[in-house]
Chain A
């Protein structure tokens, strides 16, 4: 069960969030120029050397992770045809709902995430209000909230599943 892709899914999301953070750092380090008049329209982005390398490495890693991620979902769907997962499903992939015990675990984990947001959202909103932060820090703040959401969910589910033994 601990190796179930739905249990591991928050770890994947956390990895993608970290990569997105690096992409945000690279892009906010770039200088952009937009020309728009009757004769021409152009938009250019210029990256300093370090940001260029960072962006290239991050995009490459994102691409590789995405391929592995798709393979994992395909494998899961082959092994569990009755619990098929899809990228496009509205319900979060990490929900475990095959019986009332699993629904209970999911509910406990979701409650912890909800409690986190009840405190974290006003806190972050207050920080944004008090400090004149750049676009990058606003993005990092949002990514931090998303990262914590998956981390809390994962820890709670693992806590229950690691206790289980036959």
Chain B
């Protein structure tokens, strides 16, 4: 199971799910699935999200049981 900080960072940057989706080229629903941990994004999408939030991918996503970087 992949954990993530997408919701937290999205709130910090003041993006709605739709806005973030538009910036990385996916639908609002996909952002919602990622935030809930129901869907693990591809490496490409993970990289795009990390770039939007100006963090490394492993600061944004990490495996359950491991501490985020």
A residues bordering B, Cβ < 8 Å? 1, 98-102, 104, 160-161, 163-166
B residues bordering A, Cβ < 8 Å? 16-18, 25-34, 36, 38-39, 41-42, 45
A160 pairs with B27, CB closer than 8 A = no
Partner of B30, one of A100, A163, A166: A100
Q: A99-B25, A99-B27, A101-B27 are in contact. List 12 more A-B contacts (CB 8 A).
A: A1-B27, A1-B29, A101-B30, A101-B31, A101-B33, A101-B34, A101-B41, A104-B33, A160-B29, A161-B29, A163-B36, A164-B33
Chain A hits for B29, CB < 8 A: 1, 101-102, 160-161, 164
With a 10 A CB-CB cut-off, give which of B17, B25, B30 has the most chain A CB atoms: B30
21 A-B contact pairs sorted by A residue (CB < 8 Å) = A1-B29, A98-B27, A99-B26, A99-B27, A100-B26, A100-B30, A100-B42, A101-B27, A101-B29, A101-B30, A101-B33, A101-B39, A101-B41, A104-B33, A160-B29, A160-B38, A161-B29, A163-B36, A164-B28, A166-B17, A166-B28
Chain B hits for A164, CB < 8 A: 28-29, 32-33
Chain A hits for B16, CB < 8 A: 166
Question: How far does the alpha carbon of A165 sit from the alpha carbon of B42 in the complex, in Å?
Answer: 22
